[in-house]
Structure 1
C-alpha cells in the first residue's frame, strides 16, 4: 500500500528528533492529521527503541481495531504481525508484534503485571483529551515508572483538542503542533419545531442536509437507543434508494463496525448515525456534512445513592468543534448544530476522575502500593475514601487498606470491583451463570416494550438463556432485542474464557440463584421488606427504598438491589433479585451483630432502650430492655439538640437572667461573662446540663428549679455581682416604685413607667456603666403608651407641654404640673379636694 500523505508527515522528523534526546513529548494534531497511525510507524525504527515494542493507548475499541488495521495495511501485512491490537475479550498479536494498540484497561493490566514494562520502549496516549479515568491512571503510572524504574521509557501524549500548555507543564515536556488538513466548514443552527423531539429534529435536518449538500452525512447522537429511533424515523420518511443508513456505536459487532467504516458503494450516499466514537481516531470516508445533536452519554456517580449511571449531557465546545471538523476533511462542508447559537458550552470535557465512582481506581492504587502518583488531576479525597470503604466491605482491602488476596483475584479477572467480588466468591458450579451476570450487568437491558419496565433482574437472565437455547425467535420480538442479546452473549463468552468455563448456562436458574450470586457484589444493598408495608424495604446501608406499584417482586422478603433512583425519602428500586437470607448467615457472619440501641421516643417524650439483632442497618429482631443511666443522658441531650432549648422548662426568672447576661456580655466584653446564647448552650449541654439529668428518663422530669440551678452554676459570685450592678433586673424610679427592665439581645433595655413617676428626673437612666441609655416607654395614668424616648430631658423641654394639654382633660384626677422638673413624682392620683 502506498503511504498516504498526511499533514502530520512534515512533523514526523521533529517528533523523531525530540524523542531521541527527550523522554516525553506532547503532540497536538487535529482530526485527520494522521497522528494515530503515522506516529507509531515513524518511531518503529528509532535507535532508542531497539527491539522493544510501542504500546499505544486508544480509548475506544472501534478506534483501536481501525488504527491497527490501517497501520497493518500500510505495511502490507495482516493485523497481528508487526501491528496488532488487544481489547477486552479480543486479541490479535503475535511474537512478531512491535506496535500494540490497546484499550485503557489492557494498559493498566500490562503495567500492574510488569512494573518494569519489560520489552516496551514507548507508550503513546492517543486522544488524551477524552480524559477517561483509566487513561489518567495509565499516564500517572507510566510517569511513576519512568521516574523510578525505567528512565529510558518514552511517553507521548497526543490529542486533537488538548490544553497543550497545561499538559506540557505537567509532563515537563516540549509541545509540538501539527496544522492538520481541513477545509472551511459552514455552521448553521436550524431550530427545533414546537414540541419536536431530538430524534425527529435530527431526522428532519438530515433530510435537509441531503438536499442541500453533496457527499455523505455524519449525525451525532448520545447513544444506541437514540440511533435506533432516528434510524426508524429515517427509514420511514426518507424514500430514496440511493441513500444507505448505517449505525456506528461501541455495541456493534466487528463486522457491523467495519461496514460503517468502509466507503459507500459507487452511486450510494450514506447517513452514518454515530455516538461520540466518531469524534476522532476513526476515519469515515466521504463525509461532507455533520448533523450534531450536541449530546453525549457520560458516567456520573451519585454519592447519595452509591450508583454510577450514564447521563445525557451537553458536549463541550472542544467536542463540538471536533465534530464539525469532520465535515471539512475532503472538501468544504456544512455542520448543522441542533442547539441555540446563544448556548454557551464548557470549553473542554471534564476529567472523569473528578466525577466517577473510584472503587476500581482505589483497588489499582492498593495493588500499586501508593496513591502518591504524578496526577494531572488528583482523585477527590472524599470519593477515594468512599471507594476504599466499599472495597473493605467487599473484602478487597484489609484494615490497613492493603490489598488482600481476594482483591488481587478481583483485579486479575478485570471486572469492576463489585462484580469481581461476586465472580470470585461464586462456586465453580455456577461460573457459567456468573459469566452471564457479568455480561448482563455491564450492558443495557435487552428487554423492550412492556418487559423493559420489569424490576426483576431475573427476567433478563431468562431472556438470555431462552435466546441462547433458541426458544425465542430472532429479531426484536416478544419484548426482547435479539441484537442486544447477541452482544451480551459475546461478552459472556469472553467472561467464560476468563473463568475457564467450557459450556454456557441454560434454562431458568433457581429462583434465588441470581440474587445469591449478586449479593456478594452489593452487600451494602441487601434489602429486607418492612413488616408494615410490603412495598417498602430497608437496605443494609441504612437507606430506605421502595418497589413501584406494578412490581414483579411483590412479596419477596429479601432482595439485592442492583439499580435504584435516588429520591428524597425512599429511593425507587429499578432492578433487584430475591435472595436466600441463609447465604448471608453463611458468607457474612461478621455483619450479624447484637447491639443495644437507645433512642428517644418523641411521642412518649422519653428515652427507651432495645436489644437488636442486625445485619448492617437491617433490624432482624428487637426486644425492649431497661434504660440504663449512662444510656439515658446522651439520648436526652440528643433530643434537646433536636428540639431546641425551648423544650426545656425555663422559668420566667431564668429566661430573664439569660437575656440580661447576653446583653451585658455584648455591651461589656471586658467582663468575660459566660456565653448563654442558644447556639453555645446547645453545643455545651454535656458540660452544664448533663449533671442535672442524672437518673432521669424523660425531659419533663427536669424541673424549673433544676434548670435554674444549672444555669446559675455557669456564673461565679463576682460575675453575678457585675451582672446585678451593670444589667439590673429592675430600677427604682423617682416615685419610689421598682419597675422591671426588659432586655433583648442587640437592643437597649426597655423601662415601661407612668409619666408622673418620673417628675423631677432630668436625665435618662442608663446601664452597663453608663454606656447604654435605657429606652423609656412613657405611659399614661391608664398604662397606655404616650412616648418612646432615650432623651428624657428633651421630652420635658419639647414634648411634655403638648402631652400635658392633650391628657390633662382626659385624666383630671392626676397631676399635670407646669414644671415637671420640680414636681413631686407619684404613682397615684391627686388626693381628693386638690
Structure 2
C-alpha cells in the first residue's frame, strides 16, 4: 500500500463519517421493500421462506431491520449468515449506521478473530461456521427467532451443514424457529423441497443496464496480459471504477505488475481485494476513492456477491475461479483453477450495474460461453468432509441420511472422512463421537489441527501447536533465501521462527499473513487454555504435525522421494533442504499423479519419531513368502502405516500364519512349488478326466487344486517353511486323500491306468489330454477287437493309436469298427510290403491277435 494513499485514507475519515450520516438520513425506497409485507406474512405463519432478490434490491441490509419488530420475534435475535468475513462486517456496519449506531449495539457481528456484539444486539451477522458452533453449544438456539442464510447460491459446505442442523433443531426442539433463505441467483425448487414446501418470494433488483462485450483473444497469451488488455479497453471506454475478477492472489499480483508497466494508467488507483488482506485494506478497496482517482480493483470471488465496490461501472471478468477439490482416492485436496459457471459470470456482470449503467468485458468468446457450466458445484460434493463428519458426530448423527440435505455428502468422501476421524481418535468404530472428539470439535478448527493442539497440551507444546495451526490456516509466508539454489521454502520451521517475532499488540493493523496468523494463534491459545507466556522448541514441529497428519509421515527413499504412511508416494525438489531429511511430515501436498508434490512440511526428529510410533504406530509379526529364498519369512515389524521403522527376525512365528504364507507362496507360483512327479501328474490327469466325464467327481485341474489348498494340503504342511521341505511330500498320496474310498474305487474302474487288449497285453492309458485319453498299441494286438474300448462310465471312447511292427504310428482312430471296414486294407497293403514276415489277415475281425510276428498256437 502506498503511504500517501494510507495517510489520505486516515485524514479523510471525518469526511467519510459525514457521508455515512447523509446516507443514513436518506429514506430511499429499495425494490425489496415492496415484498417485505408478503415476507412478513409468510414468516408470521411460521413457514420457511426463500427470497429471490436481484443484486441491488437491498435484501442484505433491508430485510433484517424490516423484520426486527415483528410480534413473533418477541425480543429474540435475528441471526444472518454471510459466506465471507468482509461481507458480514460490511452488512453489520451498514445496518448499524441506519440505526444511528456503530456495530456492537442493535446490530453486531461475529467472525473469526473478531466480534462486536453486546447484550442489546438484536441483529447479529455471522460467518457460516459460527452458526455451527452456536448450534453445537445450544442446539435449540434459545435466543434466536430467525435464521437468515444470505447469498445461499454459493452453497458453501458450512451453509449446507448449518441449514441441515437448523432444520433438525426446528423439527425436534424449536417449532417456532423461522428460517429464511436469500439469494440473487439460485434454483429455489430443491431448497423448497428440503424446507418442506417453502414459500418463494421474488423481488426485482434496482439494476442498471449492463452491456456485455466478449473480448475472446488468444489463450496462448498469459492471463495477466489478456486481463491488462481488457482493463485498458475498459479504461478508455468508461469513466468510472473498474472491477476485475481473477482466480487468485498470484494472478492479482501479476496483473497489477502488468498494469503498472510502462507508467501504468495515469490517475489510476490499483488495489487488490482478497481474503488475505487486512480488514482496513479490504475496506479501502470497496470504498469510493476520496482523492478523485479512478479506481481499479483486482479481486478474487470475494467481490462476486454481498459486497458493493463503490463507483464501479465496468467489470473485467477472467472467467476463472480457484477452488479446493478433495480426492477420496488419496485423502488429499488439491487447489485447481476452473472455468467459472454462467451463474457466477452473471453475478460478476451485475457488479457493473449497481449504481449506473455499465459494461462487462468477458475474456472469452460467445462460442466458448456455450460450453461453460450452468452453475457452480456445491462444496459438499467436492470438499474434504472431515470437519463435517466431526460436527455430525458431535451432533449425535451416525449417518448423514438422518438429516435433510439439498445435496447429501458423497458416500466415498464421507467414509474417507470417518476413517480419518477414527485415526485421530475423534470417533469410535461405530462412528460415535469420543470425549476427545468433543474436545476437538470445541476448538473450531479442522479435526487434524484440533487433534494436534489437544495432544500438544499434554506434551507442554500447546503454544507451538497453536502457532502451527494458525500458520496452516493462513498459509503465512516464510523467509526464502534471496540467492543460491538450495532453499528451505517448504519447511515450516522458518515460518514458526518468523511468527514468534510478530507483534499482536492490541490495535495493531493486521496486514500481512504472518500478522494475521499471529492473531489467530493468540486466539487459539486462549480457546485451548494454553498458559500465558508459554514457549517451547520449534524443532518439535514434526512431532506435532504427525498427530495432525498421521497418514503423511514420510520416510525418505532416494533423491527427495518419500513413502508416506498412508501408502502414497511424495517428493521434494532436491534443492529443498528437507529433501535430505530421513523423515518428514507433509502438511500440504497435492494430488497430482502417482507421487504428490510436498508444499509444506517439517522434519521429524528420530527421538520424536520413536515417541509417535509408540503411541500411534503398530507392531506385528509379519509372516510372508519370500520369493527369492523360496521360503517363509517371519519378521517382527514396527510401522507407522506403510512406513516400516524396524524389521527383525521373529523366533517363534504362529504356525497357522506360517502355513498360510507357505500356501500363498504355492499359489503365487501357480503350483510350481508342489513336488510334482510323473506319477502325480498321471493321477491328476486321471482325476481331471473323471471330472469331465462325471461333473460330480471333484475338479482336480491346477486352478482347482490351488483354490482348495487349505482343504487338501494344509493338514500336511506343519513344520514346513521352504520349497526344499515341500519336495519331501508324497503328492500322489496327498491327491488320493482328496477322494473318498468310493471315488478311488470309481477312479480305478472308470479311469484305469491300463487297458487289456485282445493279444493279452495290458496297455497304459495316456490321460495327458484329459478330454481325449488314448492308448498306443501295435495293430496286430488289436485283431478281433471290433468295438472301440470305452471308459468313464462308458461315456468316453478311448482314442487308439495303432502302431506298425516297428512301433511307429500308422493310424489314429476313435472308431475301430470303421477302421477295420474302411481303412485297414489300405494300411495292410503298405505294411505288408514293408513287413512281409508279419501276420496280415484278410479278416481282422476274426483274426487272432498277437504280440509276436505271427500268432502262436
* TM-score of the aligned structures, taking structure 2 as reference length: 0.79
Does the CA-based 8 Å contact 1:754-1:781 persist in structure 2? no
Gaps of 5+ in 2: 1-23
Query: In terms of Rg, which structure is larger?
Result: 2
In structure 1, C-alpha distance between the alignment counterparts of 2:679 and 2:312, rounded to whole Å: 86
Distance change in 2, residues 1:225/1:823 (3 Å): farther
Match of 1:601 in 2: 626
1:274-285 equivalence runs, <5 A: 274-285=299-310
1:390 aligns with 2:420: yes
1:280 to partner: Cα distance: 1.7
Query: Which stretch of the first structure deviates more once superposed, 719-728 or 631-640?
Result: 719-728
In structure 2, C-alpha distance between the alignment counterparts of 1:220 and 1:783, rounded to whole Å: 93
1:188 aligns with 2:208: no
SS, match of residue 123 in structure 1? strand
Match of 1:473 in 2: none
1:162 to partner: Cα distance: 2.9
Aligned residues: 806
Does the CA-based 8 Å contact 2:79-2:148 persist in structure 1? yes
1:88 to partner: Cα distance: 0.3
SS, match of residue 602 in structure 2? strand
1:65 aligns with 2:89: yes
1:517-536 equivalence runs, <5 A: 517-527=544-554
1:9-48 equivalence runs, <5 A: 9-48=33-72
Match of 1:366 in 2: 393
1:698 corresponds to which of 719, 722, 743 = 722
1:454 aligns with 2:454: no
Match of 2:517 in 1: 488
Match of 2:18 in 1: none
Distance change in 2, residues 1:619/1:485 (3 Å): closer
Distance change in 2, residues 1:710/1:27 (3 Å): farther
1:582 to partner: Cα distance: 4.5
Does the CA-based 8 Å contact 2:82-2:150 persist in structure 1? yes
1:226 to partner: Cα distance: 1.6
Does the CA-based 8 Å contact 2:752-2:765 persist in structure 1? no
Query: Which stretch of the first structure deviates more once superposed, 762-771 or 251-260?
Result: 762-771
Does the CA-based 8 Å contact 1:607-1:627 persist in structure 2? no
1:366 to partner: Cα distance: 2.8
Query: Which stretch of the first structure deviates more once superposed, 589-598 or 348-357?
Result: 589-598
Match of 2:103 in 1: 79
Query: Which stretch of the first structure deviates more once superposed, 703-712 or 112-121?
Result: 703-712
Match of 1:244 in 2: 269
Distance change in 2, residues 1:797/1:77 (3 Å): farther
Match of 1:356 in 2: 383
SS, match of residue 523 in structure 2? helix
Match of 1:439 in 2: 470
1:222 to partner: Cα distance: 1.9
Q: Deviation per CA, 1:53-95: give whole Å up to 9, x if none.
A: 1111112112212222232333343222222211001112122
In structure 1, C-alpha distance between the alignment counterparts of 2:344 and 2:818, rounded to whole Å: 75
SS, match of residue 426 in structure 1? helix
1:313 corresponds to which of 338, 342, 349 = 338
1:171 to partner: Cα distance: 1.7
1:393-542 equivalence runs, <5 A: 393-397=423-427, 401-427=431-457, 431-447=462-478, 454-466=489-501, 483-498=512-527, 510=537, 512-527=539-554, 541=566
Does the CA-based 8 Å contact 1:527-1:540 persist in structure 2? yes
1:593 to partner: Cα distance: 6.0
1:154 to partner: Cα distance: 0.8
1:336 corresponds to which of 362, 369, 376 = 362
2:163 corresponds to which of 139, 142, 162 = 139
Query: Which stretch of the first structure deviates more once superposed, 702-711 or 601-610?
Result: 702-711
Distance change in 2, residues 1:739/1:223 (3 Å): same
2:150 corresponds to which of 123, 126, 134 = 126
In structure 2, C-alpha distance between the alignment counterparts of 1:261 and 1:762, rounded to whole Å: 108
Query: Which stretch of the first structure deviates more once superposed, 545-554 or 599-608?
Result: 545-554
SS, match of residue 107 in structure 1? helix
In structure 2, C-alpha distance between the alignment counterparts of 1:127 and 1:764, rounded to whole Å: 89
Does the CA-based 8 Å contact 2:278-2:512 persist in structure 1? no
1:168 aligns with 2:188: no
1:458 to partner: Cα distance: 0.5
Does the CA-based 8 Å contact 1:730-1:741 persist in structure 2? no
1:636 corresponds to which of 662, 668, 674 = 662
Does the CA-based 8 Å contact 1:731-1:741 persist in structure 2? no
Does the CA-based 8 Å contact 2:78-2:146 persist in structure 1? yes
Q: Deviation per CA, 1:341-385: give whole Å up to 9, x if none.
A: 177344433333343333322322232222332333333455444
Does the CA-based 8 Å contact 1:191-1:338 persist in structure 2? yes
1:219 aligns with 2:249: no
Distance change in 2, residues 1:417/1:775 (3 Å): farther
Distance change in 2, residues 1:687/1:796 (3 Å): same
1:110 to partner: Cα distance: 0.8
1:100 to partner: Cα distance: 1.0
1:142 to partner: Cα distance: 0.7
In structure 2, C-alpha distance between the alignment counterparts of 1:177 and 1:153, rounded to whole Å: 19
Distance change in 2, residues 1:283/1:544 (3 Å): closer
In structure 1, C-alpha distance between the alignment counterparts of 2:359 and 2:758, rounded to whole Å: 97
Distance change in 2, residues 1:742/1:540 (3 Å): closer
1:540-689 equivalence runs, <5 A: 541=566, 547-553=572-578, 556=581, 558-565=583-590, 573-582=598-607, 589-591=614-616, 595-612=620-637, 618-620=644-646, 622-627=648-653, 629-651=655-677, 671-676=695-700, 681-689=705-713
Does the CA-based 8 Å contact 2:581-2:603 persist in structure 1? yes
Distance change in 2, residues 1:781/1:541 (3 Å): farther
* TM-score of the aligned structures, taking structure 1 as reference length: 0.80
SS, match of residue 299 in structure 1? strand
Match of 2:4 in 1: none
1:251-330 equivalence runs, <5 A: 251-264=276-289, 268-303=293-328, 305-329=330-354, 330=356
Distance change in 2, residues 1:718/1:90 (3 Å): same
